Amino acid sequence: MTGKLGGFDRFRLPAALLVIAVHTGPLLSVSPFANDLITDIWGRIAVPFFFAVSGWFLVPRLEREGAAALGPFLRKVLGLYALSALLYLPLNLYNHTLAEPGTDLLRDVFFNGTFYHLWYFPALILGACIVWALVRGLGRWAWIPAGLLYVLGVLGDSWYGLTAALPPLRAAYEAMFLCFDYTRNGLFSVPIFLLLGGRLAGRPRRHGAPACGALLLLSMALLTGEGLLVKALELPRFDALYFSLPLCVGFLLLWLAALELPSVPALRGWAAAVYILHPWCIVLVRGGARAAGLTGLFVDNSLGHYAAVTLLSALLALPFALRRPARPRPDARAWAEIDAGALRHNLAALSALLPAGAALMPVVKANAYGHGDLEVARICAGQGVTAFAVATAAEGARLRRGGVRGTILILGCTGPEEAPLLARHRLTQAVVSAAHARALEAAGRRLEVHLKIDTGLHRLGFAWDDGAGLAVPFRCPHLKVTGTITHLSDAEAADPDSRARTEEELRRFRVAVETLRRAGHEPGALHFQGSYGLLNLPGLPCDYARPGIALYGVHSAPGQETRAKPDLRPVLSLRARVVQLHRLEAGERAGYDGSFTARRPTVLATVSIGYADGWPRALSNGAGRVLLRGRSAPVAGLVCMDQLLVDVTDIPGVTPGDAATLIGRDGDQEITAEEAAAAAGTITNELLSRLGPRLPRTVLE
């Protein structure tokens, strides 16, 4: 389920071309039959495909987070709808297609869209709300009403001839058609495709690309047959919905997912822009051809018309293919960018190291190593993650209040005074000793706990060979043991001594688990690997692995060798704004203590980030650097609490407002977290987890 989904991105291209085809009829002047096949039958896959892809990402989140996930989604779609409606207002006015204020306008705004293709947006909004309500009320049975709605939709669409033969049914539909022009809308046709995507997203992959491709072809043949049949029988009122369409879209998604292609985010913005802009392009091509006297080639010739509209749409949409530049908040002095795609990729790459049946329990303590705990947890939940680990009860409670469901394990030692907080938020607590268990028991709250075994780190946990102590939590009526865990002390290094120590710690863990079992106690879920345990001992039987740093796509230190070498991508980029420039004569000094001396005429840029933001003061005086305009600028003088100075003498054109990169890419240059941490004499775990609350986190999808 968490694999590479670049196939979805790629299919947006043919899907966009199909939508234009549906609206232009490219083969009309060549073969009306072939044209019908494309526009009335095969082309009808395109828009449901977009709905199903939305469902793939949205529905699992709706199931986990409910309204918390629905709100932002609706806001986004509503924003796009409003913008698009505005864009088409001139054409509405020119064509007099704007409905009079009243029921007609409501009908257009809520169902039909204010311009013909814009029905997509109100449909997506209504469909998402219905699906949210259905999964909330019915859980996994939500597809039954969604399926029934779709059947009603098809009977009002390409199979309408059947319906029309039954007078009462026909009357019912005619009444409905007062509210909307077609049953191809958010009520009838969208819920099924959203749910379809959502269900497929949560399904383990069973078949390879060839099998899925064959099933897709088969379902396409079915669709073709159905389409030709209803046409031959003259049944359609409109020809957008077919009984076999969900089948085709489902196998299409499975096939595209099975291809495991790397993602192409640029195609997402581009395809959306083509969809929104192409009716304008139709108008422009017609107008342009008339003005140039070329109607024969670009209007009457359907292929020429299609080519011109497609080309123009593709060109006009091009700016939307570009990744937004790294300036998410023009007012931010410094910020962290979180690359959701990289995080999803790392989840998939680390999942691949697990044995069958095991799952990841991402460690999101310390604000997800500085990445933003809620942001990270939500992205993980969207990929099917159902267990998280944090260090403190307060961190766990924060996740719950933010809508995170599933298991949340508190790794640190929580005192009995926090038992009410643990209970209220259904947090799972690591129990570290018999005394700890008794203290929690005495608090009188029902708690889920995992036993933490000390196998050599000597930080927290029951001594591995303390059979009597280990039995205590099982005798505490308020405590329910659902897991047994340890933390390895030396999994990072690959030398034989470290290997031997790790083997011994694993042996001690197994002995502790055996001791429990022999005493008739069920140890529950077993887990013992952090990032390096997983990277150096992939495939080890367990129920969970608890990666932290690796999930964020970096190693603790530069050049670390691990047994497994998954392709991990850095998730966080750190940027800060240039706020002022200073020109210094040779010999002039700058910074506290005059810590910088200009050896030549020098330009210094003030960058608004400092050690209070978590940027180490150890990176003063050239130990650290930033990227500006794709080039490297050394830190000049001492890093201050809220600012630092960089020498930009050799970088022409630096201006206040520029974004400096402290971690991440700028052009073909990159500063890795490993580099910065090593230069500051620490590891990335410390550097990242200390990035402070003053930095807004911006998630880039």
Q: Would you please indicate which residues are annotated as catalytic (active-site) residues?
A: 365, 592
411 lies in the site for ligand PLP, by CB under 6 A = yes
Q: Is residue 688 near ligand PLP by the rule CB under 6 A?
A: no
| DSSP secondary structure letter of residue 333 | S
Which part of the chain contacts ligand PLP (CB under 6 A), choosing from 22-30, 312-320, 526-534, 595-603?
526-534
What three-state secondary structure class fits 662?
A: strand
Residues 88-107, one symbol each (x = binds ligand PLP by CB under 6 A, - = not), give: --------------------
| CB of 429 or CB of 685, closer to ligand PLP | 685
CB 674 within 8 A of CB 555: yes
Tokens of 428: 């799972």
Structure tokens at 187: 């009520």
Which residues lie closer than 8 Å to 468 by C-beta, 6 or more apart?
434
Closer residue to ligand PLP, CB minimum distance, 39 or 685: 685
In the complex, minimum distance from the CB of residue 457 to ligand PLP, in angstroms, rounded to a whole number: 9
Instruction: Pick the piece of the chain touching ligand PLP (CB under 6 A) from 344-352, 467-475, 540-548, 582-590.
Output: 540-548
Strands 644-647 and 602-607: antiparallel
Q: Measured from the CB of residue 697, what is the shortest distance to ligand PLP in angstroms?
A: 19
Give the residue at shortest CB distance from ligand PLP: 548
What minimum distance in Å lies between the beta carbon of 351 and ligand PLP?
Answer: 15
User: Binding residue for ligand PLP (CB under 6 A) from 433, 531, 661, 698?
Assistant: 531
The answer to whether the beta carbons of residues 186 and 125 sit under 8 Å apart is yes
Q: Does 546 bind ligand PLP (CB under 6 A)?
A: yes
Minimum distance between the CB of residue 370 and ligand PLP, rounded to whole angstroms? 12
Q: Cα-atom radius of gyration of the chain, to the nearest Å?
A: 30
User: 133 vs 463, which CB is nearer to ligand PLP?
Assistant: 463
* Helix, strand, coil shares, percent, the chain, to 5: 55, 15, 35
Tokens of 266: 């640029």
CB-based burial label for 334 (10 Å; 0-12, 13-18, 19+): buried
Q: Which is nearer to ligand PLP, 237 or 546 (CB)?
A: 546
CA-based max dimension of the chain: 96
Give 454's strand partners. 463
Toward ligand PLP, which CB reaches closer, 324 or 458? 458
User: What's the closest the beta carbon of residue 564 comes to ligand PLP, in angstroms?
Assistant: 14
Query: Distance between CA atoms of 544 and 356, rounded to whole angstroms?
Result: 11
Using CB under 6 A, which of the segments 214-222, 311-319, 465-473, 547-555 binds ligand PLP? 547-555
Cα–Cα distance between 22 and 46 in angstroms, integer? 10
Closest distance between ligand PLP and the C-beta of residue 374, in Å?
18
Least distance from C-beta 62 to ligand PLP, angstroms? Answer: 29
Please identify, using beta-carbon distances, which residue of 301 and 531 lies nearer to ligand PLP: 531
Q: Is residue 549 involved in binding ligand PLP (CB under 6 A)?
A: yes
Q: Interaction with ligand PLP in 439-468: which residues (CB under 6 A)?
A: none
- Residues 167 and 169: their CA atoms lie apart, in Å, by 5
Using CB under 6 A, which of the segments 66-74, 182-190, 542-550, 564-572 binds ligand PLP?
542-550
Measured from the CB atom, the residue of 120 and 544 that comes closer to ligand PLP is 544
Question: Min. distance of Cβ 430 from ligand PLP in angstroms?
Answer: 8
Of 262-270, 297-305, 529-537, 603-611, which segment contacts ligand PLP by CB under 6 A?
Answer: 529-537
Per rule CB under 6 A, count of chain residues that contact ligand PLP = 13
Q: Amino acid letter at 150?
A: Y
Taking CB under 6 A as the rule, does residue 553 contact ligand PLP? no
The neighbouring-strand residues paired with 582 are 604
Nearest approach, Cβ of residue 366 and ligand PLP (Å) = 8
Q: Are 430 and 413 in contact (CB under 8 A)?
A: yes
Which residue, 113 or 396, has its beta carbon nearer to ligand PLP? 396
Q: What minimum distance in Å lies between the beta carbon of 472 and ligand PLP?
A: 21
Segment interacting with ligand PLP (CB under 6 A) among 145-153, 544-552, 595-603, 612-620: 544-552
Place of tokens 């890419």: 665
Pairing state between β 644-647 and 544-545? unpaired
* 373-382 vs 46-65: helix crossing angle, rounded to 10: 130
Q: Which stretch binds ligand PLP (CB under 6 A): 341-349, 351-359, 518-526, 528-536?
A: 528-536
Helices (H), 96-235: 103-107, 120-138, 143-155, 160-164, 167-176, 190-201, 209-232
Phi and psi for 506 in degrees, rounded to 5?
-65, -40
Minimum CB distance to ligand PLP smaller for 370 or for 548: 548
What one-character DSSP code corresponds to residue 376? H
How far is Cα 268 from Cα 7, in angstroms, rounded to an integer? Answer: 12
Among 156, 547, 566, 664, binds ligand PLP (CB under 6 A): 547
The answer to the question of residue 363 lying near ligand PLP (CB under 6 A) is yes
**What b-and-e string marks burial along 603-628, b requiring 16 or more CB atoms within 10 Å of the CB?**
bbbbbbbbbebbbbebbbeebbbbbb
Q: Any idea what the Cα angle at residue 497 is, between residues 492 and 498, rounded to 5°?
A: 15
Angle, CA 15 vertex, CA 10 and CA 17 arms, to 5°: 110
Gap between the Cα atoms of 208 and 9, Å rounded: 19
370 binds ligand PLP (CB under 6 A): no
Give the residue among 541, 532, 196, 566 at the shortest CA–CA distance from 348: 566
- Positive or negative, the CA dihedral 323, 329, 330, 335 is negative
Task: CB nearer to ligand PLP: give 35 or 531.
Answer: 531
Q: Which of 55, 60, 198, 548 binds ligand PLP (CB under 6 A)?
A: 548
Please, is 180 exposed, middle or buried when counting C-beta atoms within 10 Å of its C-beta (0-12, 13-18, 19+)? Answer: buried
Q: Tell me how far apart the alpha carbons of residues 470 and 460 are, in angstroms, rounded to a whole number.
A: 14
User: Which listed range, 162-170, 465-473, 509-517, 545-553, lies at the site for ligand PLP (CB under 6 A)?
Assistant: 545-553
Binding mask 282-321 for ligand PLP (x = CB under 6 A): ----------------------------------------
Q: Which is nearer to ligand PLP, 184 or 546 (CB)?
A: 546
Nearer to ligand PLP, 69 or 361 (CB): 361
487 near ligand PLP, rule: CB under 6 A = yes
Among 158, 602, 685, 698, binds ligand PLP (CB under 6 A): 685
Residue 683: CB minimum distance to ligand PLP, A: 10
Residue 530 touching ligand PLP (CB under 6 A): yes
CA distances from 287 to 279, 292, 294, 444 (A): 12, 9, 10, 78
Tell me which stretch binds ligand PLP (CB under 6 A): 141-149, 370-378, 543-551, 606-614: 543-551
Rule CB under 6 A: which residues touch ligand PLP? 363, 365, 411, 487, 530-532, 546-550, 685
